[in-house]
Amino acid sequence: MVDMTEIRTHLSQFEAPSRHLSQDGKEAPLAPLLPEQSQAETRWKDVGLPTRRDEYWKYTDPGVFLNFSPQTTEFKRENSPLFDGDVINIAAAAEGFVVKDGLATEIKIDNLSDDKMANSQAIRQIYGKLESQAQDMIPRGLAALNTHQASRGMVIECPENSQATVQLLMTDERKVSTGSMIHHVIDARAGAQLTLAEIGTQASQTNIVYEIRVGEGASVHLIRAARLSEAKSAHMCSIFADVAASGTFNSFALSAWSPWSRQEYVVRLKEDEAKTSLSGAVLGREDCHHDDMVLVIHEGQNCQSRQVFKKVLRHNAKGVFQGKILVRQDAQKTDGYQISQGLLLDDESEFCAKPELEIYADDVVCSHGSTSGGVDETQMFYLRSRGIAENEAQELLSMAFLSDAIEEVADEQVRVRLDEWAKEWFVEARSCQP
Amino acid sequence: MFHLNNSVDVKPREGVDHQTIETVKNVGSHYRHGWETEIEMEYAPKGLNEEIVRLISSKNDEPEWLTEWRCAAYHRWTELKEPNWAMVNYPRINYQDQYYYAQPKSFEQKPKSLDEVDPKLLETYEKLGIPLREQMVLAGVEGAGESPADGRKVAVDAVFDSVSVGTTFQEELRRAGVVFCSMSEAVKTHPELVRRYLGSVVPMTDNYFAGLNSAVFSDGSFVYVPPGVHCPMELSTYFRINAKDTGQFERTLIIVDQGAKVSYLEGCTAPQRDTSQLHAAVVELVALEDAEIKYSTVQNWFPGDENGKGGIYNFVTKRADCRGDRSKVMWTQVETGSAVTWKYPSCILRGAGSHGEFYSIAITNNHQQADTGTKMIHLGQNSRSRIVSKGISAGVAQNTYRGLVSVHPKAKNCRNYTQCDSLLIGDKCGAHTVPYIELRNHASRVEHEATTSKVDDDQLFYCRQRGLGEEEAVALVVNGFCREVLQALPMEFAMEAQQLVAISLEGSVG
């Protein structure tokens, strides 16, 4: 049974979808923007919101997110871009997403709340579809809730063989005490190439959903590196991707400033020769909680998947990784790889992992590894004996540890910048050691 | 739940020839121990209620505290729920539609020694190859009782349905100070030990099947090794389910005192029937300071026929408590039988510097399902654990490794290494790995590795290049796959286990 009071309390923390408010400002019955949204209502009411008893919330308390009181967002950090040069820059605003420069010529970018979206082909075929098909294996109530309630989001359509790099700068300028629900839809048709970076600061509580369809031979690279400065925030992001024949979906996330975050990935390699690489670098301190939950489903033959997740944890931080490679019976010649590692810099930190394999095809090579522990004493000794101070040596080793995940990003310029951002974290961590 | 379709097509992969598929198929259908002993049995009435629990207790002449303990367990059990998280699928079990106690009629008056035991029963064990006469185990060694200097002896406790038939070498063990007898006997001869340790490792409310066992356990083995004693021979228990519609609920309790050492073997078989039978055992091991326990199992319950009909549901709770510092427990298991296996032999590494090891080969074929693994709970500083699990899946079977490695905040300098490998033969089966890893301090290190593959082409190519025939090459690769675990078994068992594994891999051996 779904506890409606609890859901109402949770929902009241989020911005009211602008078109849902009646003239006199009183709470009006929720009218969804799109027909697909009303279907999602039954879905989240069926699966309910997550509880601690759910198998995939074993190591993460959903109560922290559900009962979070959003803070007024204040931006102390200057947002430096991840990409320079020939990119499309988009800024997030209260009313939607605005193209600032590098106007799209090849690709089409719309706001979810646009009236014409009700008839959009991308919406019809993707919105809520990828999310709903992922529900049958593991309940994802928060994603379904987002599908029903989201009032903002981008709809990016990439025509065949188009190329574009989009940089989304999240600057929620409203400074109000609400969370935000954002739902992006990306349709990359055959041969299209899209790189999408999401940077900047977010509202203190976000529930973000990405639904991404990667067409034949197309490729989508998603880089998320939000740099936040709030002491309190809670972020939930669900990424659903369907990859067609010879398509590629890559995702990298740097999570360093969020005190509570959970990323859920569901990547379905639907047809032959599809590929995916999912990676994440996490830096956690001061009671941080970072959870990555990955499900890669191999359906086509000769598909490849990689997962590389690295977490550096200190000052009572907790890192969680739950990843599963599921290989269906027909997905022969699958190559699946997964590594999850936790580096604990002190005794208060904690790393929990559940790396799973579920395999129904015999001609496959699948492996996973998971290691966790402190800094290697021999390496430490080597650096110390060469006159490097202890905390510096620890940083060097931590950076080396993270580099495996950052290396998964193809663009060198981006890698260098991500490296710099990670180093910044260490500088900050040094200055506020308890 | 089971498909009754006989014509399951298994497409052989490159490097695995038809003969392999055939031989693997035969593991289930050619079950060697599927015959039945025709013997007059006495049953407790069907079904489960407090009266039955009291009846079982009175059959064993148990003291009141144990009867009450059983009844408490029964009442707690009625409040527990059957677990459904394992990746196994079986029809709902009707717990009221089976017998909870069955003993051969000739046991109404308990035989005083093996000489008084019904010869039919002795024949049963002879046929199974279990030496009930006190004799040397290894072939070519004659004479019972007296042992040549280099001979190895194995003391056997044979359990037939709900009762222990007899225990061998008791006298010689007694001289060494070792207590090895059936549980029902131990309750009478060593009540203080039983009362102190029973349920202290696996409490009655631990899980549904352990609760059921606590209420209705009928017999099993009891071992106590006093301080400083290295048990002079291998101890073993052989479990045989014979009666129809009867569950077997044995309970084993092994206590090894300071600095003592024991190696214990366990084997099991059951007749071939087309209805499924329940086996819910509990094994508790207690290792005190510097104690060492090696517990090996070759589980060969009837796995059901090639259509998945019949077979044993093996729902077993096994746990070792390494209470003392530097204590060591080593679990080794070869799981080839049972229609459904639900089993997680675990170690609670409480003592500083304690050591837990788990070696497992699980082979599933036809419609068999196995969800097995281990738990290593590191509570003591400097504790170590090592897990090696090899799963082989064929036919339409499902094979799952499920394990937990947990290092608590105060358990500094712990080490764990886990390796789980799965091999798939045929394209209709499944192999799954579900490890849970929890690390709560930075001075410890946990490593986990898992792979799933078919017989590796590169390795085959390498062998072929060096002039080996294809089948020889496959044999080399596949045998290498299991070796680590086979080597961990005591010699007596290694022979049987190797044979069992060989049956499933013979085709690839050529």
Question: Which residues of B are less than 8 Å from A353 in CB distance?
Answer: 435-437, 448
**Which residues are CB-contacts of B42 (< 8 A; sequence separation ≥ 6)?**
B102, B103, B104, B105, B107, B108
Q: What is the 3-state secondary structure (H, E, C) of B279-323?
A: ECCEEEEEECCCCEEEEEEEECCCCCCCCCCCEEEEEEEEEEEEC
Nearest CA distance, B413 vs chain A (angstrom)? 10
The answer to which of B20-34, B296-310, B328-342 has the lowest mean pLDDT is B20-34
> In b/e form, how buried is each residue of B206-229, taking b as 16+ CB within 10 angstroms?
bbbbbbbbbbbbbbbbbbbbeeeb
CB contact under 8 A, A357 and B422: yes
Residue A427 lies in a domain: no
| Average pLDDT estimate for A317-326 | 92
Nearest to B450 among A59, A342, A368 (CB): A368
Predicted confidence at residue A275, as pLDDT, reads 94
Please report the DSSP string for A2-28 in residue order.
Answer: --HHHHHHHHHTBPPPGGGB-TTSSBP
Nearest CA distance, B477 vs chain A (angstrom)? 16
Interface with A, mutate which of B433, B444, B447, B508 (most A CBs under 10 A): B433
Interface with A, mutate which of B419, B420, B442, B508 (most A CBs under 10 A): B442
Return the sign of the alpha-carbon dihedral for residues B440, B442, B443, B445.
positive
Nearest to B432 among A55, A344, A357 (CB): A357
Length, in residues, of chain A: 434
The answer to which of A84-98, A301-315, B322-336 has the lowest mean pLDDT is A84-98
Residue A219 lies in a domain: yes
pLDDT per position as a tens digit, A18-75: 444 444 444 444 556 677 888 888 888 888 889 888 889 989 998 888 888 776 655 5
Question: Which residues of B are less than 8 Å from A363 in CB distance?
Answer: 13, 427, 454
Question: What amino acid is encoded at B426 in this protein?
Answer: G
Confidence check: pLDDT of A277 > 90: yes
Burial of B443 (0-12, 13-18, 19+ CB in 10 A): middle
pLDDT per position as a tens digit, B232-260: 888 888 877 777 777 788 899 999 999 99
Q: How confident is the model at residue A6 (pLDDT cuts 50, 70, 90)?
A: low
Interface with A, mutate which of B375, B439, B445, B478 (most A CBs under 10 A): B439
Contacts 24+ apart (CB under 8 A), B457-462: B457/B14, B457/B15, B460/B15
Percent over 90 (pLDDT), chain B: 34
The mean pLDDT value of chain B amounts to 80
Confidence check: pLDDT of B145 > 70: no
The answer to which of A357-366, B113-122, B291-300 has the lowest mean pLDDT is B113-122
Using CA atoms in the order B8, B14, B15, B17, what is the torsion angle rounded to 10 degrees? Answer: 40
Question: What amino acid is encoded at A101 in this protein?
Answer: D
Nearest CA distance, B443 vs chain A (angstrom)? 6
Using CA atoms in the order A386, A390, A396, A401, what is the torsion angle rounded to 10 degrees? Answer: 120
A4-12 and A141-149 helices, crossing angle to 10°? 60
Percent over 70 (pLDDT), chain A: 87
Predicted confidence at residue B259, as pLDDT, reads 94
Nearest CA distance, A105 vs chain B (angstrom)? 47
CB contact under 8 A, B451 and A354: no
Pairing of strands B430-439, A350-359: antiparallel
- Helix ranges, B224-300 (H): none
Nearest CA distance, A276 vs chain B (angstrom)? 19
Q: Which of A129, A237, A148, A226 is nearest to A187 (CA)?
A: A129
Residue of B nearest to A342 (CA): B439
**Which residues are CB-contacts of A67 (< 8 A; sequence separation ≥ 6)?**
A9, A10
For chain B, give percent helix, strand, coil, nearest 5.
25, 35, 40
Interface with B, mutate which of A301, A313, A360, A362 (most B CBs under 10 A): A362
Q: Token pair 């796995």 is at which residue?
A: B303
A259 touches chain B (CB under 8 A): no
Question: Which residues of A are less than 8 Å from B434 in CB distance?
Answer: 354, 356
Question: Which residues of A are less than 8 Å from B448 in CB distance?
Answer: 353, 355, 368-371
Return the sign of the alpha-carbon dihedral for residues B131, B134, B140, B142.
negative
Residue A386 lies in a domain: no
Residue A392 lies in a domain: no
Interface of B with A in 414-433 (CB under 8 A): 422, 424-433
Predicted confidence at residue B459, as pLDDT, reads 81
pLDDT per position as a tens digit, B359-393: 998 888 888 899 999 999 999 999 999 999 988 88
Confidence check: pLDDT of B309 > 50: yes
CB contact under 8 A, A357 and B454: no
Question: Which residues of B are less than 8 Å from A369 in CB distance?
Answer: 447-450
- Helix ranges, A292-411 (H): 377-385, 390-406
pLDDT per position as a tens digit, B61-111: 889 999 999 999 999 999 999 888 888 888 888 888 888 888 777 766 666
| Domain hosting residue A34, numbered range | 4-375
Predicted confidence at residue B491, as pLDDT, reads 67
- Helix ranges, A13-140 (H): 35-47, 62-66, 121-126, 129-133
Confidence check: pLDDT of B261 > 60: yes
Predicted confidence at residue B283, as pLDDT, reads 94
DSSP A55: G
Question: Which residues of B are less than 8 Å from A352 in CB distance?
Answer: 436-439
Residue B310: HSE in the Cβ half-sphere, 13 Å Cα cutoff? 19
Q: How confident is the model at residue B60 (pLDDT cuts 50, 70, 90)?
A: confident
Say if CB A107 and CB A164 are below 8 A apart. Answer: yes
Residue A109 lies in a domain: yes
**What is the rounded CA–CA span in Å between residue B50 and residue B29?**
39
The mean pLDDT value of chain A amounts to 84
Percent over 90 (pLDDT), chain A: 41
CB contact under 8 A, A372 and B439: yes
At A177, is the secondary structure helix, strand, or coil? coil
Confidence check: pLDDT of A401 > 80: yes
A319 touches chain B (CB under 8 A): no
The answer to which of A116-120, A238-242, B14-18 has the lowest mean pLDDT is B14-18
CB contact under 8 A, A347 and B453: no
CB contact under 8 A, A357 and B433: yes
CB contact under 8 A, A365 and B430: no
Residue of B nearest to A366 (CA): B452
Pairing of strands B102-104, B41-43: antiparallel
Q: How confident is the model at residue A176 (pLDDT cuts 50, 70, 90)?
A: low
A368 touches chain B (CB under 8 A): yes
A370 touches chain B (CB under 8 A): yes
Q: How confident is the model at residue A381 (pLDDT cuts 50, 70, 90)?
A: very high
Residue A411 lies in a domain: no
Query: Which carries the bigger pLDDT value, residue A355 or residue A2?
Result: A355
Radius of gyration over alpha carbons of chain B, in Å? 22
| Average pLDDT estimate for A127-146 | 90
The answer to which of B156-160, B206-210, B393-397 has the lowest mean pLDDT is B156-160
Question: Which residues of A are less than 8 Å from B440 in CB distance?
Answer: 350
In total, how many domains does chain A have? 1
Q: Which helix (H) or strand (E) holds B27?
A: helix B18-29
Interface with A, mutate which of B393, B401, B437 (most A CBs under 10 A): B437
Say if CB A326 and CB A297 are below 8 A apart. Answer: yes
CB contact under 8 A, A346 and B452: no
Q: How confident is the model at residue B327 (pLDDT cuts 50, 70, 90)?
A: very high
B444 touches chain A (CB under 8 A): yes
Residue of B nearest to A323 (CA): B434
pLDDT per position as a tens digit, A151-160: 888 999 999 9
Confidence check: pLDDT of B295 > 70: yes
| Average pLDDT estimate for A293-307 | 94
Residue A226 forms beta bridges with which residues?
Answer: A200
Q: Which helix (H) or strand (E) holds B122?
A: helix B119-128
Query: Which carries the bigger pLDDT value, residue A131 or residue B300?
Result: A131
Residue A404 lies in a domain: no
| Average pLDDT estimate for A273-299 | 91
Confidence check: pLDDT of A305 > 90: yes
Residue A241 lies in a domain: yes
Nearest to A353 among B409, B424, B437 (CB): B437
Predicted confidence at residue B109, as pLDDT, reads 66
Residue A83's alpha-carbon distances to A193, A199, A418, B155, in angstroms, are 16, 10, 11, 75
Question: Which residues of B are less than 8 Å from A373 in CB distance?
Answer: 439, 442, 444-446
Confidence check: pLDDT of A274 > 80: yes
Question: What amino acid is encoded at A97 in this protein?
Answer: F
A345 touches chain B (CB under 8 A): yes
B86: region left, alpha or beta (phi > 0 left; psi from -120 to 50 alpha): beta
Query: Which carries the bigger pLDDT value, residue A177 or residue A169?
Result: A169
Number of H helices, E strands in chain B: 11, 24
Predicted confidence at residue A91, as pLDDT, reads 81
**What is the rounded CA–CA span in Å between residue B403 and residue B395?**
24
Length, in residues, of chain B: 510
Please report the DSSP string for A258-307 in residue order.
Answer: -SEEEEEEEEEE-STT-EEEEEEEEEE-TT-EEEEEEEEEE-STT-EEEE
A332 touches chain B (CB under 8 A): yes
Residue of A nearest to B14 (CA): A363
Radius of gyration over alpha carbons of chain A, in Å? 21
Interface with B, mutate which of A372, A376, A398 (most B CBs under 10 A): A372
pLDDT per position as a tens digit, B181-208: 888 889 989 999 999 999 999 999 999 9
| Average pLDDT estimate for A302-330 | 92
Say if CB B69 and CB B130 are below 8 A apart. Answer: no
CB contact under 8 A, A371 and B447: yes
